């Protein structure tokens, strides 16, 4: 599957749950902690209309989702992979 970027914080329970589900399924992602990475919170706020809501996921095609469920992430990644011809 195509790789995505997930913006998180260390204390976010929703982030931990999604990471655990992705890890269990072997789905790769780049994790960026918005409290430790300069500029990352700005990206999250831009995607979320000014809110610093995490997890925010940015898919390979540039679309984003705020606090998506595991099934939603899996579906979006499968679509991105199909569109890229991978």
Q: How many residues does the chain have?
A: 86
Query: What pTM does this model have?
Result: 0.91
Phi, psi of 33 (to 5 degrees): -80, 115
d(CA 55, CA 10) in angstroms, rounded, equals 11
Token output for 57: 């996921």
Give me the percent of the chain exceeding a pLDDT of 70: 95
- All structural domains of the chain, each given as residue ranges with its CATH number in brackets, are 4-84 (3.40.30.10)
CB-CB neighbours of 40 under 10 Å? 20
Q: Encode pLDDT of 11-54 as tens digits.
A: 999 999 999 999 999 999 999 999 999 999 999 999 999 999 99
Phi, psi of 53 (to 5 degrees): -80, 130
């Amino acid at each position: 599957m195509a790789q995505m970027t997930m913006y998180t914080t260390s204390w976010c329970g929703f982030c931990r749950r999604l990471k655990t589900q992705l890890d269990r399924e072997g789905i790769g992602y780049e994790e960026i902690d918005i409290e430790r990475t300069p500029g990352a919170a700005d990206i999250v706020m831009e995607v979320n209309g000014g809110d610093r809501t995490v997890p925010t996921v940015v898919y390979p095609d540039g679309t984003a989702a705020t606090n998506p469920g595991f099934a939603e992430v899996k579906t979006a990644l499968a679509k991105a992979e199909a569109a890229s011809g991978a």
